[in-house]
Structure 1
Amino acid sequence: MRIPQPALAAAAAVSVLALSVTGCSGDSAADGGTTVRFGYISDYNGASLLAIADKQGLWKKEGLSPRYKVFTNGPVQIQALGAGDLDYGYIGPGAMWLPASGKAKVVAVNTLAYADRVIAQPGITSMMDLKGKKVGVPEGTSGDMVLNLALQKAGMTTKDIKKVPMDPSTVVSAFVSGQIDAAGLWYPLIDTIKARRPGLTEVASTKEFSGKAFPTAFVAGNATKSTIDTKVVKVLQRANDWRADHPDEAIDAAAALLKVDRAKVAADAAHVTTMSTADLVAKTEDGTVDSWLNSLGDFFVGTGQLKSAPAPDTYYEGDLYTKAYGK
């Protein structure tokens, strides 16, 4: 299920709009260093490490000066990486098929996320109730992923529903206005919908799939820039450990960067499992991360997003991540 070009173009337009509305941090305190253009999504997963790196002066320690840009989803960031408009970005598990297909490389695993849901209008209580109904979803994202997982679990396929590709912000407005019956989406956007459409139901969740892991990650373009990659990974690792040791302050930092109420960020963080860098290094070395990526790869083969599941070491820079640790 490849993302059609019109959908990518529409999503890119929404990303530009979101950037103009929410702004970007521009140069951080590390002005004068090597500039890195870093994309993120406006949620705890996507923003917390960048906010911490700013607050703790971690970029400056590595001689880097970040310029942040906010996007609505991972696939559009992958497109920006490929076009040379971005150096690094953040993706959720639903977009992992793109680096797996050679469009980017994963330089660091971030968290395990369980924020994705299939939500439905009041009165719809199961996936079976969605037969013949309009379901909005941002294609190629984790919202698409949870929809496909839920359909499989219910013994259904996309042929049983009227799937409507939409960018995330359009999903929100379409659901609130009743133009669609259901959606594959994620928190905190679902909280936004709940505030305007009380009584909605959650008919499926990634939390239901206890045997699966859903890693989020930071990605880079395929061009070789090993020295900068190592520095960026070191910044992410140090920020990651600070987040693990200071969970409440990490929420404060993310809320400040996102310019949203702290309670909303805290609610979003409740859907996230964080790990220390030492744990992520160990899980890289013992093959656990590979098992997560292999599981996702097999899933994406089943959905048609991948022709075959590649070896994780073809797109996850595990050696880079482990060697950067402790430097």
Structure 2
Amino acid sequence: MKRRTAGLWAAAAVLALVASAAGCSSEPSSSSGRTTSVTFGYIADYSGSAALAVAAKQGLWQKAGLSPDLKVFTNGPLQVQALGAGNLDFGYLGPGALWLPASGKAKIVAVNMLGQADRVIARPGTGITKPADLKNKKVAVAEGTSGDMILNLALDQAGLKPSDITRVTMDPSTVVTAFSSGQVDAAAIWYPLIDTIKKRVPDLTEVSRTEDYYPELTFPNVFVTQPDLPDKNPALVRKVTSVLRQANDWIAAHPEESEKVTANFLKLPADQLAGSTKYVKLLSSEELTDLTANGTVDGWFNGLTDVFTNMGKLKSPADAKDYYVGDLYKAAGAAAGPPQ
């Protein structure tokens, strides 16, 4: 009898282990309430965090069976490094870092907004009013960012070479300090950091703007993932992209309110992000789906690869269809509901 009882306990233990193993699936179960954890990088400004702020506020992650671990970064290239090291599942890139997906280091899962915030600015008294005036001037720039991109576009427009300026590379917050204190003549940077600079240097000059190159060039900021994740786990990518689509549509329908939601998410005074939507172009996910289907989005990315090639960032750029997973973006629309 004791032997039989021991056998029954052993069988029960095996069944328990099997049941436990079955419960360790990486896919969420709506019936059990289990969720899948994803790590997601962002930048602490409006464009870099609005979608994540809205997704949290609207409970979109939970509805999709996802549990996000959000990590703040100062720029896009650092997020791509984290993606490559396996420390991040998804992240955010501004347009100046799109050379990284084009070089095979990430896959784009969704367009976020079209950026219009980048500027080359000059201090008063430097004599800099147009791109050609940058020659022989000291210019601060954050390497590999959209500031880097706008600076190179300005130099190219003026027929100048990178060697025609004294380029001072530093991180974005240091650019603000260096420009404000007069350590440099000019800087390549973006809003809302320029708003901070204007409080100290109100009579600065905007030498070059993103809009100067639109629509010949379009500057999308995007969400990205690890290069192999769309193939390894397309279901997860679709779920995350569905959340991003829903957040995007809510933002497009409530632009001013989205500024307040984002400020609250970043623990900033509401007025600090007021007017942020002036520096982006918002498109609904339906519009982005259509623009993906007709090849327009691929054209945006391919147009920028020419810029990055001229900058020396790319030697053998990939075609957008190889790093923008547009089919998964379109498929994610089936799971996305209308904005609330």
TM-score, normalised to structure 2's length?
A: 0.85
Query: How far did 1:32 drift?
Result: 5.8
Residue 54 of structure 1 corresponds to 56
Residue 169 of structure 1 corresponds to 173
Residue 76 of structure 1 corresponds to 78
Q: Secondary structure at the match of 1:316?
A: coil
Query: How far did 1:84 drift?
Result: 1.4
Amino acid at match of 2:105: K
Query: Does 1:133 find its partner at 2:137?
Result: yes
In structure 1, C-alpha distance between the alignment counterparts of 2:209 and 2:190, rounded to whole Å: 9
Q: What percentage of residue pairs aligned between the two structures are identical?
A: 56
In structure 1, C-alpha distance between the alignment counterparts of 2:66 and 2:93, rounded to whole Å: 22
Contact 1:38 1:89 in 2 (8 A): yes
Deviations 1:122-154 (A, max 9, x none): 123222222111111111110000000001111
Alignment map for 1:247-286 (pairs within 5 Å): 247-286=255-294
Query: How far did 1:289 drift?
Result: 0.2
Deviations 1:277-308 (A, max 9, x none): 00000000000001101100111111111113
User: Which of 221, 224, 227 pairs up with 1:222?
Assistant: 227
Q: Which has the larger radius of gyration?
A: 2
Deviations 1:246-266 (A, max 9, x none): 222211111111122323313
Deviations 1:179-208 (A, max 9, x none): 111111111111111112222111111111
Aligned residues: 297
Query: How far did 1:268 drift?
Result: 2.2
Q: Secondary structure at the match of 2:275?
A: helix
Residue 318 of structure 1 corresponds to 326
Deviations 1:13-41 (A, max 9, x none): xxxxxxxxxxxxxxxxxx96211111111
Query: Does 1:297 find its partner at 2:299?
Result: no
- Counterparts in 2 of 1:222 and 1:309: CA distance versus 1, 3 Å: closer
Deviations 1:73-92 (A, max 9, x none): 11111111111111111001
Amino acid at match of 1:194: K
Q: Secondary structure at the match of 2:182?
A: coil
In structure 1, C-alpha distance between the alignment counterparts of 2:315 and 2:52, rounded to whole Å: 34
Deviations 1:152-175 (A, max 9, x none): 111111111001111111111111
Greater shift, 218-227 or 310-319, is seen at 218-227
Residue 213 of structure 2 corresponds to 209
User: Which of 97, 105, 108 pairs up with 1:106?
Assistant: 108
In structure 2, C-alpha distance between the alignment counterparts of 1:161 and 1:308, rounded to whole Å: 27
In structure 1, C-alpha distance between the alignment counterparts of 2:43 and 2:119, rounded to whole Å: 17
In structure 2, C-alpha distance between the alignment counterparts of 1:221 and 1:77, rounded to whole Å: 10
Q: Secondary structure at the match of 1:207?
A: helix
In structure 2, C-alpha distance between the alignment counterparts of 1:311 and 1:131, rounded to whole Å: 34
- Counterparts in 2 of 1:34 and 1:160: CA distance versus 1, 3 Å: same
Deviations 1:34-93 (A, max 9, x none): 111111111111111101101111000111111111111111111111111111110011
Contact 2:180 2:197 in 1 (8 A): yes
Query: Does 1:234 find its partner at 2:249?
Result: no
In structure 1, C-alpha distance between the alignment counterparts of 2:317 and 2:237, rounded to whole Å: 25
Amino acid at match of 2:85: A
Query: How far did 1:267 drift?
Result: 2.5
TM-score, normalised to structure 1's length?
A: 0.88
Contact 1:127 1:151 in 2 (8 A): yes
In structure 2, C-alpha distance between the alignment counterparts of 1:181 and 1:38, rounded to whole Å: 36
In structure 1, C-alpha distance between the alignment counterparts of 2:252 and 2:191, rounded to whole Å: 21
In structure 1, C-alpha distance between the alignment counterparts of 2:84 and 2:316, rounded to whole Å: 22
Contact 1:32 1:65 in 2 (8 A): no
Amino acid at match of 1:94: G
Contact 1:43 1:268 in 2 (8 A): no
In structure 2, C-alpha distance between the alignment counterparts of 1:32 and 1:263, rounded to whole Å: 38
Q: What residue ranges of structure 2 are gaps of 5+ in the alignment?
A: 1-32, 336-340
Structure 1 residue ranges, 4+ long, deviating more than 3 angstroms after superposition: none
In structure 2, C-alpha distance between the alignment counterparts of 1:264 and 1:316, rounded to whole Å: 33
Greater shift, 204-213 or 261-270, is seen at 261-270
- Counterparts in 2 of 1:63 and 1:120: CA distance versus 1, 3 Å: same
User: Which of 307, 317, 321 pairs up with 1:309?
Assistant: 317
Amino acid at match of 1:153: Q
